[in-house]
Structure 1
Amino acid sequence: MTAPSTIDSQHLSDLLASAAPPRVLDVRTPGEFEATHIAGAYNVPLDLLREHRDDIVKHLDEDVVLVCRSGQRAAQAEEALRDAGLPNVHILDGGIAAWEAGGFTVNRGAQRWDLERQVRLVAGSIVLSSVLGSIAVPKLKWVAAGIGGGLTFAALSNSCAMGMLLAKLPYNRGDVCDAQTVVSRLLESNPS
């Protein structure tokens, strides 16, 4: 497996201003996308991209830049697209966080917590509650151990079951984002 190709925010900004800009696919949840995204980006949540990658790849003949919060989900999306035969895939180094930190323009909507922040809140709350609860019910300490094990597995496997579950909550869904909608948006803006 080859290392993912990354580009920095300045390079992406230059590419977007060029005569042949790349397609920017934002693989965060629709809720995260609605809150903040790069102008012209398409929202293709990671789970949707994985499930319908072959249909989506058919409509991506130019360079593609993948964006998420920090780069982890984009790396997973990059692997899925390369496995489907798309060679011209890049990842925005540092994700939307680096883009914003660099002072580049974003479109803003209703503000929501990023999925990674939600995972930290839920995991931390469960651990804290179970440790405090273990004073009265000693076996509750194993709930904290289970969350710790889950977080360790998430780091080692570069996946997060809690994040995938939280992404399905209505709060994180935002506008309807399905494969047919994504493909139709790609077709509408296809220059060929």
Structure 2
Amino acid sequence: MTGETNSKPAGRSPAFYGGLLAASVATISGLRLSDAIDSTTGFILFAGAMLLMIPLARAMTRKQRNCGTISPAIATYTKGIMITSFAYIVGLGIAVSMNNRMELTGITAFLIALLPVIPILGMVYVMGKYLIDEKDEYLRHRAMIANVVGLGAVLSIGSFWGFLETFEIVPHVPGWWSVPIWAIGMGFAQGWMSLRDRTPAEDEA
């Protein structure tokens, strides 16, 4: 009985935290687009929602460890993405707050705009390094599929919204939303592949 209990993964699944994150971002977006909240409140709520990435990353690592699909490259990748993601949130918050409170121009505006961009470049570096360092072809394939799905979400949603803006059906949305959309797309892809690859033994657990 004790052996059976210990064999089960503790804590909630990555799908739970991924769904909670997606629902939070969707709710905040709806409130912001309907002008129910201002940009500052929207950012604070968005930053709070991004904290769900911590339990999400832990749940994914725990699940990968239980399934035997974790590798040293994945562990390094997870840490790198967490660090760059938080740097992005902090940089974005500083940039948006300063823009709302000050009249930024010239080189100052350029440097402030770089605050969230540099962490994005860090994310790209971490992902590229992972694809180079990962020796397991299956895990590398999963990562590439997740990235393609995330990119597809950005291209399709961004283009569709852009056309709606052109037709003056919806309000303008800042371009920095492409990063959260990409991350959510990747998360959905990872969740779908994990669900697809579940074994009968895991379903019974």
- Tell which has more relative contact order, 1 or 2 (C-alpha 8 A, sep 6+): 1
**Which of the pair is proportionally richer in helix?**
2
TM-score range, shorter chain: 0.3 to 0.5
How high is the TM-score relative to the length of structure 2?
Answer: 0.31
How high is the TM-score relative to the length of structure 1?
Answer: 0.32
